[in-house]
Structures are given as structure tokens and as C-alpha cells.
Structure 1
Amino acid sequence: MIDQLLSVSTRNALSKLTETVNQGAASAASQVAAPGQPSFDHVLSELASSVSGKLQTAEAVSMKSMTGDVPTRDVVNAVMDAEQSLQTAIAIRDKIVQAYLEISRMPI
């Protein structure tokens, strides 16, 4: 149901973030993270999971508000929290892509 409610740009942003995480996981597979510290791909995958969870929570709260079980204030808070998380994830994705493009332009 959440896919039907998300706009096309939001779905594209989430899919691009997931692709970025998967590419980071593939490149990080050859490197070993220091013991006790999370790897870069692990941090990005947790970010993607967190954003997805907040979007699903916002959807669930919105659906409950239609039956009158949840006050409007809680719906607004959940939706705003989900939007803020999504905007943060998009900004991080954009920075990762920008860094990749900058590195790829460096002369060898």
C-alpha cells in the first residue's frame, strides 16, 4: 500500500538510495572494517531501513486517523518526521553521488 501512496519522485529517491547502498556494499566487500566499527554500507543500509520504517509508520498512522483512532496532531507529526528523514536521505545520496563524480574526474 505504501508504494501506491508515495509519489514517483519519492520512490525514485528511495530506489536510487538503495542502489547506492548496494554499490557501496559491493565495493566494500573487498575491504574489511575495523573491529568494533560499523562499515559504510552497514550505516547506509540502516539509514535506508530507518527511512522506510518511518514512511510505513506515517502511512499506518494516516490510515488509523481515517477511523478516528489517532488525533490529527499525531498524523502531522508522523508525516513531518517521515518527510524530514526522506529529505535527509536524499541529501546524503546526493553528497555520495557528488563525491563519486568528483573522484571519477580526478586524473590518474
Structure 2
Amino acid sequence: MIDQLLSVSTRNALSNLAQTVTQGAASPAAATGQASFGNVLSQLAGSVSNKLEGAEAVSMKSMTGDVPTRDVVNAVMDAEQSLQTAIAIRDKIVQAYLEISRMPI
């Protein structure tokens, strides 16, 4: 039950991050066709969310015996690795923001 709540809260946090990033101001990079920082973060959040949902779906299928245990473990480990990567990137972004905010003007 706790795992289900954590996965729902993680999924909600990732979707909120994606919405916040995509609602930002338009950048010159978007006008020239280059990938903007916001778009990259949005794609990252969407990718992690999809992996988490896929791992959850595979684990549900394993309860009925449709999926072997090995596939479940692979899907969950892949989703966990993606989530850890997203958390590390988030931490670096927050750290960079804090450093910039402490700079004297």
C-alpha cells in the first residue's frame, strides 16, 4: 500500500514538474528550432513517468502469472534507475539555482 502511495505521489510530482516547465516563457531556442532547457526537462519527466507506469503495469501483470519474475525485476530496476537519475538532476538544478541566487548583483 505504501509503495502504491509513493508511486502516485512521485507520478504527481513529475507531472507537476512537466507542467511547470512547459508553462514557462518562450525562449529564443524554441524559435530557432533548438531544444530548450524546459523541453528537455519536460521530456525527462515524461520519460521517467512512463517508465514508472510501465514497471507498475508489469508488476500487476505478474500477479496473474502473465509475466515472468525476471521481467518484473528488470522493469522495476530500470524505473528505479531512471527515478534516481531524475532526482540527481533535480538536485543539481536546485543547487545551481541556489548558487546563482547567492551571487552579488
TM-score tier, shorter chain, comes to 0.7 to 0.9
Query: Is 1:59–2:56 an aligned residue pair?
Result: yes
Is residue 96 of structure 1 aligned with residue 85 of structure 2?
A: no
1:15 aligns with 2:29: no
Which residue of the partner structure matches residue 5 of structure 1? 4
Paired residues in the alignment total 103
CA displacement at 1:54 relative to structure 2: 0.3
Aligned to 1:87: 84
C-alpha contact 1:47 1:89 (8 A) present in aligned 2 = yes
Shift in Å, 1:24: 7.5
Contact 2:48 2:82 in 1 (8 A): yes
**For the structure 1 residues 24 and 97, does the alpha-carbon distance in structure 2 shift closer, same or farther, using more than 3 Å as the test?**
farther
Q: What is the TM-score with the length of structure 2 in the denominator? A: 0.82
Q: Which runs of 4+ in 1 moved over 3 A?
A: 16-21
Identity, in percent, stands at 68
**Using CA pairs below 8 Å that are at least 6 residues apart, which structure has the higher relative contact order?**
1
Letter in 1 for 2:82: S
**CA distance in 2: counterparts of 1:13 and 1:60, whole angstroms:** 14
1:34-93 CA-partner distances (Å, limit 9, x unpaired):
623211100000000000000000000000000000000000000000000000000000
Q: Amino acid of the residue matched to residue 29 of structure 2? A: A
**In structure 1, what is the Cα distance between the partners aligned to 2:69 and 2:28?**
47
Cα pair distance change 1:48/1:95, threshold 3 Å: same
Q: RMSD of aligned C-alpha atoms?
A: 2.8
Q: Unmatched 5+ residue regions in structure 1?
A: none
* Whole-angstrom distance in 2 between the partners of 1:13 and 1:65: 21
Q: Aligned match of 2:46 in 49, 55, 69?
A: 49
Residue identity opposite 1:54 in structure 2: K
Q: Is the contact made by 1:62 and 1:75 (CA closer than 8 Å) also made in structure 2?
A: yes
